Structure 1
């Protein structure tokens, strides 16, 4: 263990005192699995918001958890430092069959399912006009031009588009890849995407229904993975990034496109956004944890800066593993 990961006796005692209470231990167990808001924690633990907020404050003061304000919401997650590692170690030694924690987990999964169904209903209702809705915020032509510039003109073998939506990126990069796969959780979106690909005559691009949190693709199988305007809809964007990184071949590239931080709260209620953009620091921290090297960051600021216009940011990262013996081309990508 490095010197930075070692706690002093006083810090260790402070951390243990902070977690040595039933509600706070339950919170730590939940945060070991996912980020949570106060509202989420209140619903899961069945306690008042002031009480939950107080417990979270004590855990934050002990450096066990971190607090990340985002618009009118605040997300909490386990800290990255030695206190956070101590919390993870404690949780790992608690029985998964403990009735209190099992009930918490059941309620947590119910909340997660409800949010997923809410997002799915949103996409199903808007599948036919999805591309037009995207253009309300920033020019998609400019975004696609920037994405092309980031990847360059050199052809590559395999392309994976996560949250493919109407399949637009499969068309945009069709002259660069040999084979491509678009994955989306919405059957309605996939129906539109199939119609679009058929109209474009793209025979080397396939579509599949799937979950960005649990990709049914072989590991180390794609040269380029794109996640275009998807992360802000997700409750756990870091978890989706981990799956995307798993799919990358050594030396492969991950292209992320999403909004820079903003304060447009109405996007949560009217457009099912879960996150109000992502900062450069936050994204770099996530990518570093996945052993991806950030090579390029590009901000696309709208020329007409009205209150409802959003800046789009592109992040291009590369898998730092050395390219040696790459797996053979996968032939199991069947059309869903």
Structure 2
């Protein structure tokens, strides 16, 4: 009762309801909320602090930026859902807030696209070496057998493209990347496409800031070849994977394109089938399917490894 009353008190103020409505559209920084709400930074920060203490919001830091998003678990998440449904469909103040939010998202997207254009040539050069990315994406979806993917974690999300691909089958999507520049690209792409169930944040593939058994699907899409310790990354993915969930790994088969190591920081020049299968076995996962995609100088391999359901020997 006390927890519920505290959450209700934290939400029961006009500016805080506006904040909930805005964060219902996606995560925002303190500075962005200040710009939209047209209030001082200390005042907005105090609102955010009270709402966070009441369990309505989650806060995470990425370099010098602090992001806020709606709580996705517990009583706070349930109350947020109820309050958002009760907000008026037509309201002048909220409409004005959403207009400024749209302007911010457009600016984000344009900055992200500028960064992407600056690096597009090198990425296009790598993509030209293997089968069309659309075929890889289709194969990843097909290997899930048409089932819903629940809570999806994309490790090394880059531009956030895989979050877009899986959005039609996912309840929640979270992209993790170590690069703040790439996260800016991903945020711009997700915002302009209105994928409100998708979030991105800075993180380390070796130490995911997530609870055990909290994700239904974990993806490494062209990521493990950058890893110094791929087994450690697979083990960490297995830790956060829920029983019955799937790990999907898409990467290159062994190759001799040495310049990718020298110019693109590829740590490994591909992996054998057995190598990834053995890593998954060490991490307690069962390999269900291995699929090869040919169509260029590099072969793409996709591994699907599942975490045994509870009670299975």
The unaligned stretches of length 5 or more in structure 1 are 1-123, 325-336
Looking at structure 2, the residues matched to 245 and 163 of structure 1 have their Cα atoms a distance apart, in angstroms, of 16
SS at match of 2:143: helix
Judged with a 3 Å threshold, the aligned counterparts in structure 2 of structure 1 residues 279 and 250 are, in CA distance, closer, same or farther, namely: same
Describe the shift of the 1:178–1:125 C-alpha distance in structure 2 as closer, same or farther (beyond 3 A): closer
Residue in structure 2 matching 1:164, options 147, 154, 157: 157
Question: Deviation at 1:157?
Answer: 2.0
Q: 1:317 aligns with which of 299, 305, 309?
A: 305
Q: Normalised by the size of structure 2, how large is the TM-score?
A: 0.60
Structure 2 equivalent of residue 279 of structure 1? 272
Verify: 1:263 aligned to 2:251, yes or no: no
CA gap 1:135/1:146 in 2 versus in 1, 3 angstroms: same
SS of the aligned residue for 1:173 comes to helix
The 1-side partners of 2:192 and 2:167 are apart by 14
**Which residue of structure 2 lines up, in the alignment, with residue 191 of structure 1?**
184
Q: Look up the match of 1:137.
A: 129
Which residue of 2 is the match for residue 209 of structure 1? 202
- RMSD over aligned Cα atoms: 1.9
Residues 1:265 and 1:234: Cα distance change in structure 2 (over 3 Å): same
CA contact (8 A) 1:127 1:188 kept: no
Structure 2: tracts of 5 or more residues without a match: 1-114
Indicate conservation of the 8 Å contact 2:116/2:185, yes or no. Answer: no
Question: What's the offset of the Cα at 1:131?
Answer: 5.5
Aligned residues: 196
CA separation of 1:127 and 1:134: change in aligned 2, threshold 3 A: farther
- Contact 1:261/1:277 (CA < 8 Å) preserved in 2? yes
Give the Cα separation in 2 of the matches to 1:131 and 1:151: 27
Q: How does 1:1-336 map to 2 (within 5 A)?
A: 128-129=119-120, 132-138=124-130, 139-302=132-295, 305=296, 309-322=297-310
CA deviation after TM superposition for structure 1 residue 288, in Å:
0.8
Q: TM-score, normalised by structure 1?
A: 0.56
